[in-house]
Amino acid sequence: MLRRLSTAALLLAVLSVLATVPGDSSPAPANARAEPERADAPHRPDEALERARRVAAAWPGSETQRIWRTGYYPRLNRQDWLPKDFTPNSGTFAAFLDGRIDLAADLPPFAGSGTVSFPDGTSTALPLTDPRSTYQWLTQYSDTCRTEPCDTRLTITAVRPAVRSQITSRGTATVPVWEFAFAGLDEPYAVTAVESQAPQTSYYVEDKDLPAGFTDVQGASEVPAGLLGSLFPDDCAEAAAGEVFETADVLVLIGRTTGLGPVECDSGVTLRRAHFGLARPVGTRVVLNLAGIPVLYPTKD
């Protein structure tokens, strides 16, 4: 969800690059290049390529691939939708972020299941989550206000089931949500009411576990002649052209940077974008990062 997701979530930009010789079943990296090993680097540069090779080999036939194709695999494991009334400088938004929220409504029962409906006409029934856990999550960081008078409070006047559109591995699905109506706001806050079936694992490989000058991709989108990837290097270095390990089933993106960044650096918010050239279009292949997580979702139904 929004506040605690190191936007883990959520920022998705894009990358890729490599080629498979026609008629050759073995993957051949298009622009993977050897580099001299640095004495102070804990990893060899070729370790990134080897990691990509292992990720590509593990995808076909995996449980993750099965869920990606036939289950509920949303772009965000637990997505929320904020009211348009929330603006960056509004007291109501500050109260929301600080957990100054009072409950003046009954919480609905959550027994049973909710239905996720996909563009191809199929659907999946999944257990509903407890709206109480959402309320507890919203209020667990109360009394943290630092900038405003801090006397604004929000009051929940109703909690009800509803549906929203959500990007998933199978296109834009209709998913059940819990809506929380706030007094004085025109729109409710909403959060998905079912949990993703995707395996719960790390979204990306940390920089410390990669060779110097490498960083993992946290999101991707298609652009002319390739992909555009989102990077958040720990040292805030500038992005370099990315590399791609390509097979018939997947593209594994290998993020690169130019080296050390500024002395003062907030890597959690320093977004870098890198281009990944492709030998041929993505097609039906899945785009993965070095953690084996899909980073490109279909944008068409």
User: Looking at the structure, do residues 218 and 301 belong to the same domain, yes or no?
Assistant: yes
User: Looking at the structure, do residues 283 and 241 belong to the same domain, yes or no?
Assistant: yes
Gap between the Cα atoms of 288 and 56, Å rounded: 8
Give the pTM: 0.81
Residue 100 has pLDDT above 50, yes or no: yes
User: Looking at the structure, do residues 212 and 165 belong to the same domain, yes or no?
Assistant: no
For residue range 206-220, list pLDDT tens digits in order.
999 999 999 999 999
For residues 112-118, give the mean pLDDT: 95
For residues 234-258, give the mean pLDDT: 95
**Domains contained in the chain, number:** 2
pLDDT category at 231 given cuts 50, 70, 90 is very high
**Which range is least confidently modeled, 95-99, 143-147, 165-169, 249-253?**
143-147
> 225 to each of 17, 163, 168, 245, how far by Cα in Å?
10, 36, 24, 16
CATH code, domain with 152: 2.40.128
Gap between the Cα atoms of 52 and 137, Å rounded: 36
pLDDT, residue 183, reads 96
User: Looking at the structure, do residues 204 and 295 belong to the same domain, yes or no?
Assistant: yes
User: Looking at the structure, do residues 177 and 220 belong to the same domain, yes or no?
Assistant: no
pLDDT, residue 143, reads 64
Gap between the Cα atoms of 230 and 204, Å rounded: 12
pLDDT, residue 45, reads 77
Q: Which residue has the higher pLDDT, 78 or 71?
A: 71
The enclosing H or E element of 63 equals helix 63-70
User: Looking at the structure, do residues 65 and 106 belong to the same domain, yes or no?
Assistant: no
CA 35 to chain CA centroid, nearest Å: 31
Which distant-in-sequence residues (6+ apart) come within 8 Å of 200 by Cβ? 77
Residue 14 has pLDDT above 80, yes or no: no
For residue range 129-179, list pLDDT tens digits in order.
999 999 999 998 766 677 777 888 999 999 999 999 999 999 999 999 999
User: Looking at the structure, do residues 292 and 206 belong to the same domain, yes or no?
Assistant: yes
What is the average pLDDT score of the chain?
84
User: Looking at the structure, do residues 169 and 85 belong to the same domain, yes or no?
Assistant: yes
User: Looking at the structure, do residues 232 and 276 belong to the same domain, yes or no?
Assistant: yes
Range of the domain at 230: 1-71+199-301
Of the three residues 151, 172, 192, the one that is the final residue of a domain is 192
Gap between the Cα atoms of 286 and 290, Å rounded: 13
Of the three residues 192, 216, 242, the one that is the final residue of a domain is 192
Q: Which residue has the higher pLDDT, 110 or 144?
A: 110
Decide: 239 and 217 in contact? Cβ < 8 Å.
Answer: no
Gap between the Cα atoms of 272 and 13, Å rounded: 9
Of the three residues 192, 212, 243, the one that is the final residue of a domain is 192
pLDDT, residue 109, reads 82
Residue 55 has pLDDT above 80, yes or no: yes
User: Looking at the structure, do residues 213 and 280 belong to the same domain, yes or no?
Assistant: yes
